[in-house]
């Protein structure tokens, strides 16, 4: 019964995977771009450490590992399958989509997940090539398991944030400005570019407790050993809290959006 219920969404994911695989030139350019960024980040952090401008408590080799793993994570986390919401609203096809015997939020998740699986396959060749440029620390198996669990939670938090932003298009028709502001905030405050320990004092305490930290910072802190095993349950609970909150908000906004379409459509 459960298998039959989710079978259509598995097919949606497979089709998204196949669709992404057709753009082979883009795949190679993405890998090449990532390698260039790895080299530039290594040079940047090496220069900063030589000038004693470094995050507290993170040695250079750990910082290079942090930056490299963050780039590899971005291959997956920058995929946004929920953009289709905005596009379908602008095209006017969202009304007919809502009439189909499927859950549209699950469809958007499945489509994005299919794209994500393809880009996840790029991580291995990208990592192997990156190892020619930098040394990346490999954590113990238990640490890697905790990192993987944290990464999944961060992926889901990121999905629901994107879902909420694109669902605003039901009222505004365009969400580019909102997405741009949230993306800038996320890039800076998630720990993707800079470890959040770089922020001093009370500012550091604030950014550590924002939802953006649940996307990149928490898994990365686990990976490089900045969070001790005793702190893992609290860190995962922090991510789970934001996941439940954004999932509930997404459900409420989607229900309101459905009613809006029905009322305006007569």
Indicate if the alpha-carbon torsion angle 180, 121, 215, 87 is positive or negative.
positive
List, for residues 68-79, the tens digit of each pLDDT value: 899 888 888 888
159 or 100, which is more confident?
Answer: 159
List, for residues 213-232, the tens digit of each pLDDT value: 999 999 999 999 989 999 99
* pLDDT value at residue 263: 43
pLDDT band of residue 203 (cuts 50, 70, 90) is confident
What global pTM score does this model have? 0.87
Per-domain residue ranges of the chain? 2-264
Given a cut of 70, is residue 25 above it in pLDDT? no
């Amino acid at each position: 019964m459960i298998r039959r219920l989710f079978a259509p969404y598995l097919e949606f994911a497979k089709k998204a995977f196949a669709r992404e695989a057709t753009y082979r030139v883009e795949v190679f350019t993405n890998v090449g771009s990532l390698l260039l960024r790895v080299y530039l980040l290594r040079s940047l952090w090496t220069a900063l450490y030589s000038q004693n401008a470094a995050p507290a408590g993170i040695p250079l080799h750990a910082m290079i590992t942090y930056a490299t793993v963050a780039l590899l994570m971005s291959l997956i986390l920058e995929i946004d399958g929920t953009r289709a919401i905005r596009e379908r609203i602008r095209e006017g096809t969202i009304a007919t989509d809502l009439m189909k015997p499927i859950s549209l939020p699950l469809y958007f998740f499945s489509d994005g997940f299919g794209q994500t699986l393809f880009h996840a396959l790029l991580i291995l060749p990208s990592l192997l090539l990156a190892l020619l440029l930098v040394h990346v620390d490999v954590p113990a198996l238990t640490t890697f398991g905790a990192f993987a669990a944290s990464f999944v939670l961060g992926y889901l938090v990121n999905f629901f944030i994107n879902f909420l932003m694109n669902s605003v298009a039901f009222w505004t028709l365009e969400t580019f400005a909102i997405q741009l502001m949230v993306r800038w905030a996320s890039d800076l405050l998630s720990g993707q570019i800079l470890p959040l320990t770089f922020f001093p004092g009370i500012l550091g305490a604030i950014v550590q407790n924002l939802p953006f930290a649940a996307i990149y910072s928490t898994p990365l802190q686990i990976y490089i050993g900045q969070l001790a095993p005793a702190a893992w349950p609290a860190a995962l609970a922090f991510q789970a809290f934001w996941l439940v909150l954004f999932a509930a908000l997404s459900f409420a906004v989607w229900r309101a959006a459905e009613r809006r379409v029905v009322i305006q459509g007569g």
